[in-house]
Structure 1
Amino acid sequence: MFILFYYSATNFPLLTFSATCKSKAKKAKHMSAVEPLQEGQEVTDKTGRKWKLVKLLSQSTTELIYEVFQTVSRSNSKESNHILKLAAKDGRIFNEQNFLQRAAKPASVDKWIKQNKMDFLGIPSCVGFGLHAESYRFLIFPNMGQSLESVMEEEDELLPEKAVLQLACRIIDVLQYVHSNEYVHADINAENIYIQPGQKSQIYLVGYCHAFRYCPGGQHVEYREASRTPHEGTVEFISLDAHKGAAPSRRSDLQSLGYCMLRWHTGALPWTALTHPDQVATQKQRYMEDVPALLSHCFGKKRVSSALQTYLTAVMALQYSEQPDYSALKAGLSVALLQLGGSPERPLSF
């Protein structure tokens, strides 16, 4: 897990931006290492805009994150609040760029928002990309706030049910859009969820390094175990499909979100302490077939959330290529939210 830090333009405290590809060490050895570029150096994106590397914020064997500003030749002004992710040209960053160019065009996102009469949709906006020195690829993003992971670490407490349900409603909105564009996210976790400071109803789902085109040309991929590298993504939260090396599908994202909701609200899943992916997969298989037992384990003596039970029961029963009923899933969570005095549109209730 790689985390970098950068300053917001507001007086918000030091914020975190996850290096959205959380490749494990065993995967990293198959990817090209990258060497840092000198601070103060400029890179030029595909549109000809120049971006100055102000400060190296984070470094791993496979990617670098810089604080950057756009150099405007006439005024030499700075466009603040941007970061640049730099990695090997043909590494996972290419997969992320491919998703962003295909499925996350600002015009497409805006059209979706208008068609569905939404106030906001948390799809990240890539404001620039390009190649550098023949072997590097970079992506540029605006400040999207603070990761949910860092918020939870700062607060040092579990999320109340109301906040969990609000987050889930927002993420389901994003997933419905992503899935409608033939992709799945395949790595949902708190480090890939961002909250805009001062506007805590704006929730972003970022980190599309593992994004997979599950339905190219409208044809759903077939279920085939061992067709991909097993256990790809964040092991604690990935679906059983991913553990088995099958291509992730829509149910994979929704099941991962269910695991996250339980973790955020109760503190641990039955497999949280396990270190071997195969052991984690065994536990997920067991509890996938017995949702009440999973909830009983997580909630202990506390009252089990009926909203979480309904949601988990529904997503665990989905068939591999089945289209989820996003409206029904969100409606169930929204009703529970209203009973708790909240709504998806209001700022998060931490």
Structure 2
Amino acid sequence: CNTSLLCECAVAGRGKAKKAKHAPTVEPLQEGEEVTDTTGQKWKLMKLQSQSMTELIYEVSRPNSKESNHILKLAAKDGKIFNEQNFLQRAAKPASVEKWIRQNKMDFLGIPSCVGFGLHADSYRFLIFPSMGQSLHSVTEQENELLSEKVVLQLACRILDVLQYIHSNEYVHADISAENIYITQGQKSQVYLVGYCHAFRYCPGGQHVEYREASRTPHEGTVEFISLDAHKGAAPSRRSDLQSLGYCMLHWHTGTLPWTELTQPDQVATEKHRYMEDVEALLSHCFGKKKVSSAFHTYLTAVMTLQYSEQPDYSALKTGLSDALLKLGGSMEQPLSI
């Protein structure tokens, strides 16, 4: 994969996935300009990869180096990027990730590694990451076809691994979408969950937050895929991430959700509420005349009935998906066939 974007416009697949925008707008910097991180390391802006109203993504390199194998995410100093930096420093330290990998006998965990950060020109904050390949969104747009059930199950298993890690570190992601999933293809595909601007510490000091509607800004995140809790302005919890992943799985494989064409967040929330207790109807709508995947049915039934503060059974969820993957002739070790 080519060096690519960390964040893209919030357009998921073939339907418009709108993102709530609350951060101040940012103006592009000149290519060739240098920024200095908190350790004194300089980084040269090589190429503007992506631009939205609130974020800029550049290919960057160290001065005197011809390789641009890092990306820099730039946004307003006091915007959502500060929340992402806080999460990365608190819960995604490379040493902590490596320890988790060893303890769980894994070979990889798709947590982005922030190798530098800092402030620039009094009004910008930036984060620097090694290149992580292409976003799932850009891959599916290029191929212009839906993902097979096999690939969706591979992705879901790997994302579940990341969610279990961040949940065990008292955080939830709160904005799972194809734009925030990155894939490095090779002998083994590496799948990253990125974009922690909406990450929320749901269990500070081991004490789960209480469920309170309207305690936060409603509809935060990519509206098509966020949980009903987020629509209601309640703090996201573990079930929020798992339900969002379920919506994404359906969309990647079938190309639609009952609310895909709706433009008002309140209308989307109404539809999600309607289908929360009727998983069969949700599946029927998405799969149409095609045979409904039993793995999707099992996963969605489990995550839609989770209580707000309940600890999910990650092992059971992953076993259900991986067993179905094996029946399709796939495995976690195989590269993603996208």
Instruction: Identify the TM-score tier after normalising by the shorter chain.
Output: over 0.9
Aligned to 1:43: 35
Q: Distance in 2 between matches of 1:327 and 1:20?
A: 33
Q: Unaligned stretches of 5+ in structure 1?
A: 1-11
Give the deviation of 1:171 after TM superposition: 0.3
Question: Match for residue 105 of structure 2?
Answer: 117
After TM superposition, the structure 1 = structure 2 runs for residues 170-181 of structure 1, keeping only pairs within 5 Å, are 170-181=158-169
> How big is the shift at 1:348?
1.3
Deviations 1:2-44 (A, max 9, x none): xxxxxxxxxx45744424899968634xx33323222222111
- Match runs of 1:246-265 below 5 Å: 246-265=234-253
Tell me whether 1:152 sits opposite 2:152 in the alignment: no
Is the CA contact (8 Å cut-off) linking 1:236 and 1:280 kept in structure 2? yes
Q: Give the AA of the match of 1:302.
A: K
Summarize the Cα distance change of 1:197–1:83 in structure 2 as closer, same or farther, 3 Å threshold: same
Alignment of structure 1 residues 160-309 onto 2, 5 Å: 160-309=148-297
- In the alignment, what sits opposite 2:333? 345
Match of 1:310 among 290, 293, 298: 298
Q: Distance in 2 between matches of 1:80 and 1:118?
A: 29
The match for 1:27 is 21
Q: Partner amino acid for 2:200?
A: F
Q: Report which of the two has the higher share of strand.
A: 1
Q: Secondary structure at the match of 1:83?
A: strand
Contact 1:113 1:120 in 2 (8 A): yes
Distance (Å, rounded) in 2 between the aligned partners of 1:213 and 1:291: 29
Q: Secondary structure at the match of 1:270?
A: coil
| 2:48 matches 1:93 | no
- Whether contact under 8 Å (2:183, 2:191) holds in the other structure is yes
Q: 1:20 & 1:204 partners in 2: Cα distance?
A: 18
User: Taking structure 1 as reference, are residues 134 and 21 closer, same or farther at Cα in structure 2, changes over 3 Å only?
Assistant: farther
| Corresponding residue of 1:3 | none
| Pair 1:70-2:62 in alignment | yes
Contact kept in structure 2, 1:183 and 1:215, CA below 8 Å:
yes
Q: Distance in 1 between matches of 2:302 and 2:328?
A: 22
Q: Is the 8 A contact 1:20 1:209 kept in 2?
A: no
Q: Which moved more, 1:310-319 or 1:335-344?
A: 335-344
* Aligned amino acid, residue 221 of structure 1: V
Contact 1:295/1:304 (8 A) holds in 2: yes
Name the % identity: 82
Q: Residue 83 of structure 1 aligns to which amino acid in structure 2?
A: I
Partner of 2:308: 320
Higher relative contact order (CA 8 A, sep 6+): 2
Q: 2:50 aligns with which of 47, 58, 74?
A: 58
- Paired residue secondary structure (2:189): strand
How far off is 1:56 after superposition?
2.5
Counterpart contact for 1:104–1:123, Cα < 8 Å: yes
Structure 2 CA distance, aligned partners of 1:250 and 1:44? Answer: 36
CA distance in 1, matches of 2:217, 2:208: 19
Give the Cα separation in 1 of the matches to 2:162 and 2:78: 27
Deviation of the 1:346 alpha carbon? 1.7
Letter in 2 for 1:36: P
Q: 1:58 to 1:108 in 2, by over 3 A?
A: same
1:157, distance to aligned residue in structure 2 (A): 1.1
- Shift in CA distance, 91/21, structure 1 to aligned 2, threshold 3 Å: farther
Find the aligned partners of 2:99 and 2:20 in 1 and give their Cα distance: 41
SS at match of 1:27: coil
Q: Distance in 1 between matches of 2:8 and 2:207?
A: 32
Q: Give the match for residue 8 of structure 1.
A: none
1:205 is displaced (CA, Å) by: 0.4
Using the TM superposition, give the Cα deviation of residue 296 of structure 1 relative to its aligned residue in structure 2, in angstroms. 0.9
Task: Report the more deviating stretch, 34-43 or 15-24.
Answer: 15-24
State the number of aligned residues.
Answer: 333
Tell whether the 8 Å contact from 1:21 to 1:92 is kept in structure 2 after alignment: no
Aligned to 2:14: none
- AA aligned to 2:226 is I
Distance in 2 between residues matched to 1:311 and 1:334, nearest whole Å: 11
Cα separation, partners in 2 of 1:14 and 1:45, compared to 1, 3 Å = closer
Q: Distance in 2 between matches of 1:144 and 1:306?
A: 32
CA distance in 1 between counterparts of 2:34 and 2:5 reads: 24
Please tell me the root mean square deviation across aligned C-alpha atoms, in Å: 1.8
